[in-house]
Amino acid sequence: MKIGQATIKDIAKALNVSSSTVSRALKDYPGISDETKRKVKELADKWNYRPNAVALSLRKSKSFTIGVIIPEVVHFFFSTVISGIEEVAFMHGYNVILCQTNEKLKREISSVETIISNQIDGLLVSFSKETTNFDHFKRLIEQHYPVVFFDRIPNLENSVNITVNDYQGAFDATKHLISQGYKDILHLAGPRNLDISKNRMNGYMDALKEAEMPVKPHRIIECPEGVQEESFKICAKVFKEQDRPDAIFANNDMAAAGAMRGVKSLGLKIPEDVGVVGFSNWQFSSMVDPPLSTVSQPGFKIGERATQLLIEMIEQKGDEPFTPKLEILETELLIRGSSVR
C-alpha cells in the first residue's frame, strides 16, 4: 500500500529542479550547491519524505531483508533464536521475513519460492522434520545465494552452518546421571532424520561406553513427535516391567516431561527411583515437580551469530562462492531436582 508519501519527483517538481538533483542533494553528493541542498532537504523534511524501499530494491537488486525459515514459532528454543536474529538484523538495518513451516516440507518449499520471488537478500534456515531431500536449498547454494543453516543442519556441500554441540550436551547429561549412581539409562531419542537426534544419541552412547556400561538397543526408543503423550505412554509401559530402567535421558524437555508423568503414574519417585534429564531448557522445565535437569542451548546466541554470518555473506560483494563453515556453540548442563539423589 502506498501511503500518501512524497516522492523525489514531487519534491523536484515543487522546486523546479530535476529528480536527479533532488536524489543527489539528499545524499550529499559532491557538486550540488549548498543552496539547492538546503532547499531540497528542507522540503523533504517538511513533507516527511522517506525513500521508497521497493523502488530501491528493484533498482539495486537488494532489499535489506532476510528470510527466516523455521519449523515452529511457538517453541521456546526457536522463539529465542528469532529474538537473536531480530536484534542483529535490526542493528544492521535489515528486515526479517518470517516463514513458519509447521514441520511441513511442502510449506518449506513454498517458503523458498517466496524468498526467491521477493528478492530477499539471504536466508536463515532450520529445516522441517519432514525434510530429507534438500534440493530446494541446494539450488540456492549452487547459485551462490547466501544461506545459513542453524540448529538443524543438513549435510550439504559448501553450506554454512551453525549449531550447538548436541553431542557434548548429551554426553554431559548422561555422564551426570551415571555419576549419580543410575545404572540403567533409557534414551528417548528424536526423529532419526535429524542430525541433532543422532548427535544426542551418540553422546548418550559414548558416555555409557566411557563408563564401561553396556549400550542396550532396547533402551533407545524413538519419540518422533516429541509430544508429552508419546513419552508418557512409552514410559508408563516400559517402567511397569520387572527389569526396568532407573533413569531417562530424553531428546527434549517435552518428552522428558511426559516421561516424568508416565513414571510417576506408576508410583515411582523422581529422582529417588528414576532420574530424568531433558534437553533444551524450555521455560517450563524449572517448574515441573521436581524441577527438570536439562541441557540448555544458547538459542539467542545462535540467532545472533547466524545473522552475523549471513549479513557478512550478503555484504561480501563478488561472485565467489562462500567458504563453507560449521560453527558449534557449547551447551550448558543445568542440574536440578530430577536427577540428584
Give the span between the Cα atoms of 287 and 122, in whole angstroms: 38
Q: Please give the single-letter amino acid code of residue 337.
A: G
Residue 118 is a binding residue for DNA (CB under 7 A): no
Give the span between the Cα atoms of 157 and 139, in whole angstroms: 11
Give the span between the Cα atoms of 322 and 145, in whole angstroms: 9
Residue 2 is a binding residue for DNA (CB under 7 A): yes
Residue 62 is a binding residue for a second copy (CB under 8 A): yes
Q: How far apart are the first and last CA of the chain?
A: 62
Given a contact cutoff of 8 angstroms between Cβ atoms, the answer to whether 166 and 201 are in contact is: no
Residue 314 is a binding residue for a second copy (CB under 8 A): yes
Q: With CB cut-offs between 5 and 8 Å by kind, which of a second copy, DNA, none does residue 4 bind?
A: a second copy
Residue 82 is a binding residue for a second copy (CB under 8 A): yes
Give the span between the Cα atoms of 155 and 192, in whole angstroms: 14
**Which residues lie across from 163 on neighbouring strands?**
328
Q: Show the beta-strand stretches assigned E in the chain.
A: 65-70, 95-100, 122-125, 147-150, 160-164, 185-189, 220-222, 247-250, 275-280, 293-296, 325-329, 332-334
Q: With CB cut-offs between 5 and 8 Å by kind, which of a second copy, DNA, none does residue 24 bind?
A: DNA
Residue 63 is a binding residue for a second copy (CB under 8 A): yes
Of 50 and 139, CB closest to DNA = 50
Sites for a second copy among residues 274-293 (CB under 8 A)? 282-284, 287-289
**CA torsion 290→295→299→302, rounded to 10°?**
180
* Residue 233 C-beta: closest distance to a second copy, Å: 16
Sites for DNA among residues 20-79 (CB under 7 A)? 20-21, 23-24, 26-27, 31-33, 35-36, 49, 51-52, 55-56, 58-61
Give the span between the Cα atoms of 186 and 69, in whole angstroms: 33
Of 116 and 335, CB closest to DNA = 116
How many of the other CB atoms lie within 10 Å of CB of 295? 28
Locate 197 and state its grid cell: 537426534
* Residue 113 C-beta: closest distance to a second copy, Å: 7
Sites for a second copy among residues 112-151 (CB under 8 A)? 113-114, 116-122, 140, 143, 145-146
Residue 214 is a binding residue for a second copy (CB under 8 A): no
Of 23, 79, 202, 308, which lies in the binding site for a second copy, with binding defined by CB under 8 A?
79
Of 16 and 242, CB closest to DNA = 16
Q: Please give the single-letter amino acid code of residue 75.
A: H
Where does this chain bind DNA (CB under 7 A)?
2, 7-9, 16-21, 23-24, 26-27, 31-33, 35-36, 49, 51-52, 55-56, 58-61
Where does this chain bind a second copy (CB under 8 A)?
1-5, 50-55, 57-58, 61-63, 65, 72-76, 79-80, 82-83, 86-87, 90, 95-100, 107, 113-114, 116-122, 140, 143, 145-146, 228, 257, 261, 264, 282-284, 287-289, 314
